[in-house]
Structure 1
Amino acid sequence: MSASRTERLLNLLIALLNTTYGLRRSELRDKVYHDTTSTDVAFGRMFERDKNELRRIGFDVETVTDKGWGSDDPATTRYRIGKESNRLPDVSLTPAECTVLILAAQLWEHAALGSAAVNAVRKLQASGGLADAELPAGVQPRIRPAGQAFEDLVAAMHAQHPVSFRYLAGSTGKEEERLVEPWGLGSRFGQWYLVGHDRARGDKRFFRLSRFTSAVTVLTKERFAPPSDFNVREELSSLPELPVQSAVVDVAAGALHGLRTRAHAAAPGPAAAPPQAGRDRLSVPYRDVETLAEELASYGPRVRVVSPPELVTSVRRRLTAAAAFTAAPVPAIAFPAGSPQGGAPRHPRKRTSEDQLARMLQLVPFLVHNQGLHISEVAANFGITRQELEADLRILICSGLPEGYPDDLLDIQWDDDHVTISQDLDLKRPVRFTVEEACALLTGLETLNGLPELAEGGALESVTLKLMAAAGEEGLKAAALSAPEVGPGNLAALETAREAIRSGTQLRLRYFSPLRDTVSERDIDPLRLYSLDNTWYLEAYCHSAQGLRNFRLDRIEALAPTGRPAAETAKASDSVPVKLFTPNDDDAVVVVELTRRGAGLADEYYAERTAELPDGGLLAEIRFGSTDWLPMFVAQHGGTARILEPGGVAEASRQWLAAALAQYED
């Protein structure tokens, strides 16, 4: 990242914003660029690149041409940026609207649009449009990260670049290379779909992300134009739900209680060999082969698929890929100095002048509306280190009007570690939402329609209308993204838990634990409800475990009040939105290698440190409460994740996969 280029772009922006008449290129070259060495052609190329970067951020650089009076008086071209260019319109929100908006932004926590949602909320804070709001207990929905393919597709879709990937065709069962113009992404029937123009077939096609068998390659040198009236939700509504089919599996006797609850004994087939001793033959209903294959592969040697053949093939393919990855050479395990520990994972951010300038344009209005904040608090708000923030501030205080006096420079002080700004040079209003920011908020608001308590009262509708007006054309592009429903499935357990939270009552639950493959009864003090897509969780103090635990509502077999009050010492965790995993001192620290396809798992499992690998993969250091289920984790992800350390867990994974594959050997 070039600090000099960032400073030059900022000074160019300030100069063009603060001129009414406009500045000639010769004036800009002399007063802003201080360029005396390059040729006119070289300077012209640099100036055009800088203008394009400002336009990419959203500032419309106007060109004004004055015609000369004669042949000896050539035309004069001047440049300027209007005062209202790319400024976020004033948005005033009520406390109820702010509550809904914050919930919509938090939906994306670690998904592709998480940082965009944070930036959008920060812009509203900087404009003074965000009032204090109290989040309701028991209503904290989130969207599950949809993997690295989702991240890459969102970026390509917004930049209008075509993509290529390998795809497992549902009609033929064969892997094929696809070249697609991504028009939209949406969720339907619990699956993420890409809708776009398949160039090889010359027509619109639907692609299920679970059938991608390679990483997504973005063709950055090519562009396309999507249909002007495209709406991914309307497109996906035309998809019929897959029919229910039956799979025949042999399951180890007494194992896999969760699978057994939705299965029944399979009738003996005329041609199939009987199950081995110690195995039960079951019939399992399913709709999607790949979804069931992911689950069955994780069970390793405890399950052998008998039919249908395409399910056998899919499970074997996943196990074979996982075994091959575990046998591959191990990279050097090293994390960058200063990698964050104990907090949210931070993948290496883009280190470009344009990214830094975009952050500075958020930083100035934020400081104007938050005078006197401690410098560490400002850095934390922007997700950067204190050193990075001070580097930004040093560039800002050297920037201002061309050849201006000291009063014509940005004036920011932080000598006492409290940051104040007294001269903002008309940068005090945040820039408009980017298309990613508009999509994050508007798609999140649409998703909240699935929660009756939010859909009622009008706040959801009114804040959506206000943000649509503020987002302008970028808001219209939100129709290219549709998130999954977050409405609860187990309404009875949800209402019982919600009433117990309101009344401070203890509950007794009967709960199935897939890790231990057992059903247990526990007394709990309920604290908070939240969701991940349409899967809801109950955070509670468990008296058996003597600590905070998260219980999936769809795994609760019975839930009823005990008649006793909840203990006053039990408190919900401070994280908002709540995490699925609460770290403890006796956790196992595991080093995981992820391919580029599986890189999103680092966020999903709250990696404490990450390091990029030369092939685009990732090393991740993750805390796990138990390592017993990690062989299942490796098998489930079919060649996109493997354990490197501890060595014993890595070896257990290899043995698990070998035993699973041995079942399918003739």
Structure 2
Amino acid sequence: MSASRTERLLNLLIALLNTRYGLRRNELRETIYRDTPGNEASFGRMFERDKSDLRKFGFDVETLTDLGWSEDDPATTRYRIGKESNRLPDVQLGPEEWTVLLLASQLWERAALGTAAQSALRKLQASGAMADVQLPAGVQPRIKPAGQAFDDLVAAMHAKHPVTFTYLAGSTGTEEQRTVEPWGLGSRFGHWYLAGYDRARKAPRHFRLSRFTSAVTILEREQFTPPRDFNIRQELDRLPELPLRTAVVDVRKGRLLALRGRAVAQDVALEAAQGSGAPEPPGTGYERISLEYRDPEVLAEELASYGPDALAVAPAELADAVRRRLRAAAEFSAAPVPTFRFASAPSRPVRARTSEDQLKRMLQLVPFLVHNQGLHIEDVAHRFGISRKELEDDLQILICSGLPEGYPDDLLDIQWEDDHVYITQDLDLTKPVRFTVEEACALLTGLETLNGLPEVAEGGALESVTLKLLAAAGEEGLRAASLAGPEMAPADAATHSTVRQAIESGSQLRLTYLAPQRDSVSERDVDPLRLYSLDNIWYFEAYCHSVEGLRNFRLDRVQDLHPNGRPVPAGTTPAEGVPAKLFTARDDDTVVTVQLTRQGRGLADDYYAERTAELDDGGLVADIRFGNTAWLPMFVAQHGGSARILAPVELADAAGTWLAASLARYGG
């Protein structure tokens, strides 16, 4: 869709919205389409495409005919759009409801639904002024979807397209090609699941996204109809948790303190070793421990990251899972280096903006400006996530748009000469369009996810804003039942409460912390700045006086925590940005070039890549800053063939050597 087509569609929309009687095709051709070349037949095809596009935006293009005449007669057929067609109903929210809504809109970590949440929030701001709100002190919960597969499945689910992928079956341990009609996505037991109809098995099935061994392919030429009353949260409530099992692992002496801390009693370890037929004793320099686990793939991912320092002895399926990950990582690391080229300026990959995006934005922009008069143009651009140049291009199209053959007063009137934007003529575009499915899902799923957050669950604001949005979203709101977020309640409520109170009171904390990557326990004084989560894993950002810099600490790795009696120094503030970054880059960090498969390309976002280069197979190459390069082999092994190091060469060689030594522990 070209820029000229964007302007034409906008003018067509304004014309059809501002006529009660309706406009005939010849009237529209003489006004809206007067500069469009072609004969009557080509104009007819173009007009039908434009009507179809407006209907895709949700506008009901009515066809009216004179009494006794057929719709096939252009001379007697008229078209119009009702003024309330596809308009978002007014939603009045109080300060507490806005607080909850802002938290819900910030939940989504990745762009796919994060963009939709921000778009929905702008629509609500465009239907009325946002109240001044105060978010809970330093609390930023976030949802972290399961990589690229999540984005692809959401897109397929909302477009009602089947998908194919390769799946590691838990029952057989073999990889199988699956073709599935995606009905819903939800998080349970710390994992994301797809629920849908398996065409090969002719029955509904659940699929855990971490068991996908290939990228998701969307069958865009096919459609399906999901069950009308499907609810993914109710579906996953019936999903049984995997039984608790015991693994036998040999651990290098003096290493892996975090793993040792989870070891079961010695008598249980001995019984597990005897029952598995494990050889006695363990190798020289190693000690045997037993661990309780539920899913072999989850434990295998962790054990693979420990490389030669850990050996999965039993059960056999666990050892096989670790071996498979290490082998995939080694093979990927040894593959030929692809040809790639970074963009001239460091940037993160973004989907190319289309004229469809531009028109959607304009339909938000006009009502937003109506209800937010006088905002600085840079502020408006920031709110819409675009550059000032893109916004000015939008405004230039808007001020040339209006009623066909109209007078100056019949055009949109927008002024920004002093860098503050005002609109004085809106031509009935004062209400934003209704929520899309993605927007409704992003906000309503976010609100439901906040139920487990102590700071929000109290009081009735969460319930009231949810009911208001459900009413405003209509049919699209009902489809939000196809998505369910993770539980947000912190596992250690006492530690969470201590950190939150310290943030609110501005108090320093004395911290005893286990750092698995450094395999050490340390004590330090910290200035707590904010709490945030990735799903149900909670962190707090703090200024650490030991390293004289900002650091992030996982709450479940805190061994002791208490106020030290000193206040946080004045002027100590969190790092910029919402949400908080899990990794804070420093100038002396090492820039590492990594290659990611299509399945693992989401790691570029997770680790805040400075620049990327797209690959033909859907993967990408990314430059990422790492403060501690010693753990890079662990990073490669953990992701089992989805990531490898390209440069610096010495780090790539070190990872290869480390992987070879790890595989040698499993027989090569």
| TM-score for both structures, normalised by structure 1 | 0.95
- 1:490 is displaced (CA, Å) by 0.8
- 1:619 is displaced (CA, Å) by 2.4
Cα deviation digits, residues 443-467 of structure 1 (max 9, x gap)? 1111111023311210101111111
Mark the CA change 1:35 to 1:259 in structure 2 (over 3 Å): closer, same or farther. Answer: same
In structure 1, stretches of 5+ residues that fail to align are 341-345
8 Å CA contact 1:111–1:144 kept in 2: the answer is no
**Aligned ranges 1:333-344 → 2 under 5 Å:** 333-340=340-347
When structure 1 is superposed on structure 2, of 352-361 and 585-594 the one drifting more is 585-594
8 Å CA contact 1:93–1:129 kept in 2: the answer is no
Which of 593, 596, 600 is residue 594 of structure 1 equivalent to? 596
Residue 20 in 1 paired to residue 20 in 2?
Answer: yes
Mark the CA change 1:311 to 1:69 in structure 2 (over 3 Å): closer, same or farther. Answer: closer
- 1:80 is displaced (CA, Å) by 1.0
Q: RMSD of the TM alignment (CA)?
A: 2.1
Which of 331, 340, 347 is residue 338 of structure 2 equivalent to? 331
Percent of matched pairs sharing the same residue? 71
The residue that corresponds to 1:311 in the other structure is: 318
- Inter-partner Cα distance in structure 2 for 1:420 and 1:610: 38
When structure 1 is superposed on structure 2, of 122-131 and 202-211 the one drifting more is 122-131
Mark the CA change 1:450 to 1:92 in structure 2 (over 3 Å): closer, same or farther. Answer: same
Report the residue type matching 2:188 in the other structure: R
- 1:40 is displaced (CA, Å) by 3.5
Q: What secondary structure sits across from 1:299 in the alignment?
A: helix
- 1:478 is displaced (CA, Å) by 0.7
8 Å CA contact 1:375–1:417 kept in 2: the answer is yes
8 Å CA contact 1:111–1:146 kept in 2: the answer is no
Mark the CA change 1:46 to 1:537 in structure 2 (over 3 Å): closer, same or farther. Answer: same
The residue that corresponds to 1:165 in the other structure is: 165
Mark the CA change 1:490 to 1:30 in structure 2 (over 3 Å): closer, same or farther. Answer: same
8 Å CA contact 2:65–2:71 kept in 1: the answer is no
**Aligned ranges 1:176-575 → 2 under 5 Å:** 176-264=176-264, 265=266, 266-267=269-270, 268-269=273-274, 270=277, 272=279, 274-340=281-347, 346-575=348-577
8 Å CA contact 1:306–1:312 kept in 2: the answer is yes
Residue 603 in 1 paired to residue 605 in 2?
Answer: yes
Q: What secondary structure sits across from 2:241 in the alignment?
A: coil
In structure 2, stretches of 5+ residues that fail to align are none
8 Å CA contact 1:247–1:308 kept in 2: the answer is yes
8 Å CA contact 2:25–2:75 kept in 1: the answer is no
8 Å CA contact 2:107–2:141 kept in 1: the answer is yes
Cα deviation digits, residues 3-23 of structure 1 (max 9, x gap)? 112112111111111111111
Mark the CA change 1:12 to 1:552 in structure 2 (over 3 Å): closer, same or farther. Answer: same
Mark the CA change 1:351 to 1:567 in structure 2 (over 3 Å): closer, same or farther. Answer: closer
- Inter-partner Cα distance in structure 2 for 1:621 and 1:376: 29
Mark the CA change 1:271 to 1:96 in structure 2 (over 3 Å): closer, same or farther. Answer: closer
Cα deviation digits, residues 35-81 of structure 1 (max 9, x gap)? 66434433333222222211111111111122347999987221111
- Inter-partner Cα distance in structure 1 for 2:240 and 2:73: 69
Cα deviation digits, residues 227-269 of structure 1 (max 9, x gap)? 1111111111111110011112221111111111111453254
- Inter-partner Cα distance in structure 2 for 1:530 and 1:431: 33
- Inter-partner Cα distance in structure 2 for 1:75 and 1:27: 10
- Inter-partner Cα distance in structure 2 for 1:14 and 1:230: 37
When structure 1 is superposed on structure 2, of 80-89 and 569-578 the one drifting more is 569-578
8 Å CA contact 2:165–2:178 kept in 1: the answer is yes
- 1:429 is displaced (CA, Å) by 1.6
- 1:526 is displaced (CA, Å) by 2.1
The residue that corresponds to 2:131 in the other structure is: 131
The residue that corresponds to 1:645 in the other structure is: 647
- Inter-partner Cα distance in structure 2 for 1:90 and 1:478: 20
Report the residue type matching 1:233 in the other structure: R
Cα deviation digits, residues 497-524 of structure 1 (max 9, x gap)? 2232333332211100011010001112
8 Å CA contact 2:2–2:355 kept in 1: the answer is yes
When structure 1 is superposed on structure 2, of 594-603 and 268-277 the one drifting more is 268-277
The residue that corresponds to 2:7 in the other structure is: 7
When structure 1 is superposed on structure 2, of 59-68 and 199-208 the one drifting more is 59-68
- Inter-partner Cα distance in structure 2 for 1:397 and 1:42: 28
- Inter-partner Cα distance in structure 2 for 1:551 and 1:317: 31
Q: What secondary structure sits across from 1:222 in the alignment?
A: coil
- Inter-partner Cα distance in structure 1 for 2:462 and 2:59: 31
- Inter-partner Cα distance in structure 2 for 1:234 and 1:69: 52
- 1:548 is displaced (CA, Å) by 1.8
Q: What secondary structure sits across from 1:112 in the alignment?
A: helix
- Inter-partner Cα distance in structure 2 for 1:199 and 1:543: 58
- Inter-partner Cα distance in structure 2 for 1:274 and 1:354: 67
8 Å CA contact 1:67–1:74 kept in 2: the answer is no
8 Å CA contact 1:147–1:599 kept in 2: the answer is yes
Mark the CA change 1:174 to 1:73 in structure 2 (over 3 Å): closer, same or farther. Answer: closer
- Inter-partner Cα distance in structure 1 for 2:210 and 2:361: 35
Report the residue type matching 1:77 in the other structure: T
- Inter-partner Cα distance in structure 2 for 1:70 and 1:509: 80
